[in-house]
Amino acid sequence: MELQEACQIHQGLLHEHSNSLHDMKAIVKTWRNRLPIIADDLSHWSDIFTWRQHHYQFITSHYDAQHDQGSNHSMFGVHASAQAIIHFGKIGRKHNLTGVCLDSLSRIYTIPSVPIVDCFQKIRQQVKCYLQMASQSGNKELQEGLEVVESTNLKYFTKEMTSEFYALKGMLLAQIGRYEDANKAFSAAVQLHDTLVKAWALWGDYIEDQFTRSAVPDIALGVSAITCFLHACRHQNESKSRKYLAKVLWLLTYDDDKFSLTEAVDKYVVGVPPIQWLPWIPQLLTCLMRNEGKLMLNLLSQVGRMFPQAVYFPIRTLYLTLKIEQRERYKSAELAAAMAGKQVALKVINKLSNFRGNVPDGAGPIRATPSMWRCCRIMHMQRDIHPTVLSSLEGVVDQVQFTFVNC
C-alpha cells in the first residue's frame, strides 16, 4: 500500500500533474494518521518510518529546486518529516525504550529549517524521556533534562509553549528536591498563560504530592491543590478532566472540622462546566448527606440547572430512601416505647425530632433530617426552573410504577 502511495507522489511531482500537490498532501496526511499503537512491534515500524523519511526528503528537495518564492510547499515535507521522528520517539518512550527515543529525537537536527512547533514537541518528548529515566536511575537524568530546558532560547516560542516549558522545569526541580524553585517555576507558568491546562494540572500534582506525603497534612496545601485541579478543568472536555475531578473528590476525605477543602470547592467551582460533573453525581450526593453537605448545594444546583434529568432522578431516589429510613427509625422508637413503657424511649423520639422541616406521613408527621431538607431544596429549585421537564419525568415514573404494579 505504501509503495503504491509513494509511487503516486513521485509520478505526480515529476510529471507536474495538475492535482499533484493535492494528491501529495492527501497521502502525507494519510501517513501521519497511520501511526503505530503502543502494542505494535517497533522494529517493523522503524523500517516504515525510515521509508517515509526518504519520500519526505524528496518532497522537500523537489519544491526547493523550483525556487518558487510565492509558495512554501517544501515546508510541508519538512514538517511531516519532523513529526514522524517525534512520534516514533514518543512510541519508543512509551515502550520504555528511552535510548531509542533519544536517538530518534536527535535525528531531527538533520532536517534543515525545522518549524518551531516541531522543536517544541521534540524538547517536550526529550524532557519526558529524562523524567522516565530518572525514575529508574537517579538525579543525573533530571539534571540533564533541566539543562535542556534552561538552554532553550524561549524567545522563539509562543506564550503557551513557554508556559509549558516553565511547568516542565517545575516538574524537574520538584523531583530534584528544589521545592522553592519548583513553586516559582509553576507560578511563572500559570501567570504567563493562565488558561494552560497542563501547567495547572502539573502544579496541582506537585502540591498534592506535598500534601499527602506529610505526616500531618497541611490544609492550606490541600486547598491549593484543589484550586489548581479545578482551574485545570475549566478548559477541557469531560474525559480529560475526569482524573482531576476524581482527585478533588478524593482530597475532600482529608477535610478538617472547618470544612476548608469543601469551601475551596464551593469557591472555585464556578468556572468548571457542569457537564464535567455528570459522572460524579453519586459521589456528590454522598457528600450532600455528610455534615459538609450544605456547601455542596451550590454545586449540585448548578449541575441541575443545566441537566435536570441527570440530577433529579438520583436525588429523588436518595430523598425517598432517607424518608423511608427516617420513618423506620420512628416506628422502631415508638415500638420500643410501647413495649418498655419507659421514659428513655420517649427521649429517643424527642432527639430524633430535633430537625428542621416536616415531611407528611400517613401515620403522622415526622421530622426531616438535614440531608432530606437539602434534597428537598434542590428538587424545589429544579421544579421552579424546569417545571415542564420535571412534570414529564414524574409522569414517566408514575407510568413505570403502574406497569410494575399491574404485572
**Pairwise CA distance, residues 261 & 147, whole Å:** 37
The count of other CB atoms within 10 Å of the CB of residue 96 is: 11
Identify which has the larger pLDDT, 165 or 11: 165
Helix (H, G, I), strand (E, B) or coil at 359: strand
Q: What nine digits make up the cell of 294?
A: 450544605
Q: ∠ CA 169-170-175 to the nearest 5 degrees? A: 100
**Pairwise CA distance, residues 317 & 262, whole Å:** 24
In this predicted structure, which of 219-223, 247-251, 353-357 has the lowest mean pLDDT? 353-357
Helix spans in 177-216 (H): 179-192, 197-213
Look at residues 246, 248, 253, 170 and name the one whose alpha carbon lies nearest to residue 217.
Answer: 253
Structure confidence at residue 16 as a pLDDT band (50, 70, 90): low
Q: What nine digits make up the cell of 34?
A: 497511520
- The share of the chain scoring above pLDDT 90, in percent, equals 19
Average pLDDT of the residues of the chain: 82
pLDDT by residue (tens digit) across 181-191? 999 999 999 99
In angstroms, how far is CA 162 from the centroid of its own chain?
21
Helix (H, G, I), strand (E, B) or coil at 366: strand
**Pairwise CA distance, residues 197 & 237, whole Å:** 11
| pLDDT at residue 184, as a whole number | 93
Mean pLDDT within 6-27 = 69
Mean pLDDT within 229-250 = 88
In this predicted structure, which of 2-6, 260-264, 287-291, 374-378 has the lowest mean pLDDT? 2-6
Structure confidence at residue 360 as a pLDDT band (50, 70, 90): very low
**Pairwise CA distance, residues 52 & 137, whole Å:** 34
| pLDDT at residue 181, as a whole number | 92
Structure confidence at residue 403 as a pLDDT band (50, 70, 90): confident
Structure confidence at residue 70 as a pLDDT band (50, 70, 90): very low
Look at residues 74, 163, 76, 149 and name the one whose alpha carbon lies nearest to residue 119.
Answer: 149
Q: Per-residue pLDDT for 265 more than 50?
A: yes
In this predicted structure, which of 17-21, 74-78, 168-172, 333-337 has the lowest mean pLDDT? 17-21
Would you kindly state where each structural domain of the chain is located, as residue ranges? 1-17+29-35+44-63+76-152, 154-272, 313-405
Which helix (H) or strand (E) is 358 found in, with range? strand 358-359
Q: What nine digits make up the cell of 365?
A: 408527621
Q: Which amino acid is at 356?
A: R
Helices (H), strands (E): how many in the chain? 19, 2
